[in-house]
Amino acid sequence: MTEILDSTAAIGRPLRRKEDAKLLHGRTNWTDNIQLPGTLHMALVRSPMAHARITKVDLSGALAQPNVVAAYDAASLGDLNAGVPCVWPVTDDTVMPPFPALTGDKVRHVGDVVALVLATDAASAEDAIAHVDVEYEPLDAVINMVDAVSPGSELVHGDAANNTCYVYDLGGGYEDALAKHPDAVVVKRRFVNQRLVPAFMEPRAIVAAPMGMSEEITIWSATQVPHILRVLLTLVTGIPEQNLRVIAPDVGGGFGGKLQCYREEILCTQLAKKLGRPVKWTETRSEDMVATHHGRDQIQDIELACTPDGKMIGLKVDLLANMGGYLQIITPGIPLLGMFMYPAIYKMDAYQFQCTGVFTNTTPTDAYRGAGRPEATYAIERIVDEMAAELGMEPMAFRTKNWIQHHEFPFTTVAGLTYDTGNYEAATAKAMEMFGYEELRAEQKARRESGDPVQLGIGISTFTEMCGLAPSRTLGALKYAAGGWEHCTIRLLPTGKVELVTGTSPHGQGHETAWSQIAGDILGIPVDDIDVIHSDTGRAPYGMDTYGSRSLAVGGQAIKRAADRLIENARPIAAHQLECAADDLEFANGSFTVKGDPEKTVTLGALAWAAFSAHDLPEGVEPMINGEATVDPEDFSYPHGTHLAAMEVDTETGKVRVRKYVCVDDVGNQINPMIVEGQVHGGVAQGIGQALYEGVEYDEDGNMLTASLADYLIPSAADLPSFETGTTVTPSTTHSLGTKGVGEAGAIASTPAIINGIVDALRPMGVNDVLMPASPQNVWRAIQAAKGGAA
């Protein structure tokens, strides 16, 4: 298992992770570990109702409980009751209702927060919230999106007519394109991309503490976005930015769920400042299920038109996207991240997209691994299979006929994106070979002919995605408030070691290892001599954090440019020492050498001390050597791949099994293939989770029926297979390292592969769709309906 690796040629090697020693020995620094003297523990009074007017809040009972120091409702919190920010109004007329940290007028989802209690210990705080007396006047709960937008529906927010947050349009000309093809074959479907819970393993936790008598408040939070959080906390609380320091210590997963400025973060910050004491809150899993934002939840009407011989003509997509009860950081924009991806890898003449954002009395939605792109990929890959069936074409042959061929890149899609590179043929050929595609088709045929109660299906997903969010100019054009750049500073320390300061904020991805590999390779310094500093606005002041598979795609470029600049900054000192012109020096393996004179050489380490002592620096050169860069990417990056699933379906019970899962991903150049593979595994597992196991269910009153891990089923080891992963490498030409992004690819690709496999198994029985999650009952129901029996 153990490979001896040359750590001075690190890029592309499966280096074991630097992060692991502490994690494996339990010497971790989770936010909930922090115990500061004088801490007040916060407990929240959450609404048991989905929609109700608050008619009374009486805090006196709670205030009388032992160890309780303070309690607040919206009224008593007054000016400190800041609003949770939304930074992405997608249209000029997007309805942006207020979202106060404590709600005062109405509750808008189960788990909405009405009041809070602060006590000297967590148990007392939890005891006391039962003594806050809240009276509600129930209102009709708006749960179902179709009902929500119907005239006459109860309104979640008074200023959002028909509960509509916005209507967004893109493209057009679908009907015109169709009119040119009177013989067109059209397939329409309604897919439901169900609501999911991010379910990161570390529950959210926050400690906000005033630092002595200074004005500084330090906030430790289990967040993906310490830098964004600091800016937003300043904007909503008015606390000067220079007085806020946000630290994301060890963070146990996020998947988009910790990409937020949550009400609890606002409350802890405000109360720490007001009371001059540390305030701590750690969510329980029960709270997490209703209070951490959810993902997905779209109803997708999709229509694909083809010529009878199987060339795509056009695509029409009409979405209802569930916003939930409030807008959080980028709630409205999530469906738009998918908007560009419906045409996916295919060539067609017309694309027409519309999305309606809908308020309901449910937990707000926002980013969850893939954020819009899994929904798009699901819909297109599902309807491609349905069209192939309609045309009587083999589904892979249908894809091949319509996808962008590798010699056609760069290719501008009908949605307006320009894909820089790609090679769908290569990834698909490799995947089919690994899979044993033809053998499995033969087995499928045999099972069909013998009437085996366990049928076999082959699910295909040939996907691409846009990640590495993103060029700031593009984000601005989409009305997203922030930019998409990333920063890196690399400091050469006096002893020749290196500090690499990144603006990315890892929470499990392994940036400390991978970033060391990039810098180590460029600087010729062993990866163990590089310390990666991150996730602390005090130590790593500039950054845009980690989400949208952007950290390597954008942050990696900043590392490269910073390392290149460090070398250039060292060059005059080297030239001075070697008594040559700067241009006469070559840099390789950590040393400057005079061209043509290998004896005349000096290491970066030696230059580091020279730059530190500064005893003999050339004229005009300042002491110390570093390199800094802030990179705004040229474009998104476009990973792609082919995922194949062999699905066994027990037609008697509806239970399915993933017998074999093969995927070949093209994420461009790889810094650490071990980490890449791990990201694919995790993403695929989450995508399978959506396909087979997970889904939030509400009753008609808006109670969440899946509000614990006993009812919201995330897969265990026993519920998943091993995966066979492969890669092809088509480097990105718009990113300086040739890398793309890998964080979300697996989650984007796998869901349609699984469902296509189930439908493929059952198609001879007349099944042409199955609801997600494809629970045994949902599969069995689909079979019964196709048989014409009970449905």
**Cα 164 from Cα 148, distance rounded (Å):** 8
- For residues 182 and 789, which CB has a smaller minimum distance to another protein in the complex? 789
Residue 221's closest CA among 257, 251, 244, 200?
A: 251
CB of 778 to another protein, least distance (A): 10
Secondary structure, 3-state, 552-567: HHHHHHHHHHHHHHHH
CB of residue 88 to another protein, shortest distance in Å: 26
Nearer to another protein by Cβ, of 27 and 615: the residue is 27
For residue 32, the minimal CB distance to another protein (Å) is 8
Toward another protein, which CB reaches closer, 425 or 719? 719
Main-chain dihedrals φ then ψ at residue 56, nearest 5 degrees = -160, 140
Question: Which of 594, 646 has the CB closer to another protein?
Answer: 646
Nearer to another protein, 346 or 780 (CB): 780
Minimal distance, residue 682 CB to another protein, in Å = 5
Question: What is the greatest pairwise CA distance in the chain?
Answer: 90
Nearer to another protein, 7 or 472 (CB): 7
Supply the minimum distance, in Å, between the C-beta of residue 661 and another protein: 10
Toward another protein, which CB reaches closer, 23 or 167? Answer: 23
Q: Residue 61 is encoded by which pair of tokens? A: 């009972």
Q: State the Cα–Cα distance between residues 611 and 614, nearest whole angstrom.
A: 5
E-strand ranges in 75-215 read 106-107, 113-119, 133-138, 164-172, 185-196, 205-210
Q: Measured from the CB of residue 505, what is the shortest distance to another protein in angstroms?
A: 12
Closer CB to another protein, 30 or 136, in the complex:
30
Answer yes or no: are the C-beta atoms of 292 and 257 closer than 8 Å. Answer: yes
Minimum distance from CB of 556 to another protein (Å)?
18
Q: Minimum CB separation from another protein for residue 577, in Å?
A: 39
Q: Given the complex with another protein, which of 545 and 677 has the nearer CB atom?
A: 677
Contact 214, 240 (CB under 8 A): no
Nearest to another protein of 289, 475 (CB atom): 289
* Residue among 685, 689, 687, 667 nearest 676 (CA): 667
Annotate 363-418 with three-state secondary structure. Answer: CCECCCCCCCHHHHHHHHHHHHHHHHHHHCCCHHHHHHHHECCHHHCCEECCCCCE
**Phi-psi bin for 325: left (phi > 0), alpha (psi -120 to 50), beta?**
alpha
Q: What is the dihedral of CA 172, 176, 181, 187, to 10 degrees?
A: 40
What's the rounded Cα separation, in Å, for the pair 409 and 430?
A: 20
Query: Shortest approach of another protein to residue 433 CB, angstroms?
Result: 20
Minimal distance, residue 129 CB to another protein, in Å: 10
Cβ-proximal residues to 300 (8 Å cutoff; 6+ apart), any chain: 189, 190, 191, 192, 193, 317, 318, 319, 375, 378, 379
614, two tokens? 């500064």
Nearest approach, Cβ of 765 to another protein (angstroms)?
16
Gap between the Cα atoms of 463 and 370, Å rounded: 12
In the complex, least distance from residue 599 CB atom to another protein, rounded to whole angstroms? 41
User: 214 or 722: whose CB is closer to another protein?
Assistant: 722
Residue in the block written with tokens 């320390």: 493
Give the nearest distance from C-beta 27 to another protein in angstroms.
Answer: 7
Is 94 or 679 the residue whose CB approaches another protein more closely? 679
The token duo for 5 is 């690796």
Show the tokens assigned to 63. Answer: 């205030």
Shortest reach from residue 56's CB to another protein, in Å: 23
Both structure tokens of 561: 């440019």
Please say whether the beta carbons of 312 and 348 come within 8 A.
Answer: yes
Residue keyed to tokens 């994420």: 667
Closer CB to another protein, 85 or 678, in the complex: 678
DSSP string, 261-303: --HHHHHHHHHHHHHTS-EEEE--HHHHHHHSPBEEEEEEEEE
Token pair recorded at residue 664: 């070949």
Please report how close the Cβ of residue 546 comes to another protein at its closest, in angstroms: 12
- As measured in angstroms, the least distance from the Cβ of 742 to another protein is 12
Task: Output the CA–CA distances (angstroms, integers) from residue 722 to 106, 203, 719, 740, in the order listed.
Answer: 48, 27, 10, 25
Encoded tokens for 532: 């990666």
According to DSSP, residue 83 is labeled B
Q: Which residues pair with 470 in a beta bridge?
A: none
Of 771, 761, 789, the residue nearest 453 (C-alpha): 761
Q: 48 or 308: whose CB is closer to another protein?
A: 48
81/513 with CB nearer another protein: 513
Q: CB-wise, 285 or 600, nearer to another protein?
A: 285
CA gap 700, 695 in Å, rounded: 16
Shortest Å distance, C-beta 774 to another protein? 10
308 Cα distance to chain centroid: 39
- The least distance separating another protein from the CB of residue 398, rounded to whole angstroms, comes to 29
CA 635 to CA 470: how far, in whole Å? 6
For residue 6, count CB atoms less than 10 angstroms from its CB and return exposed for 0-12, middle for 13-18, buried for 19 or more.
exposed
Task: Please state, in angstroms and rounded to a whole number, the distance separating the CA atoms of residues 723 and 719.
Answer: 13
Our CB check for another protein shows the closer of 243 and 778 to be 778
Nearer to another protein, 531 or 650 (CB): 650
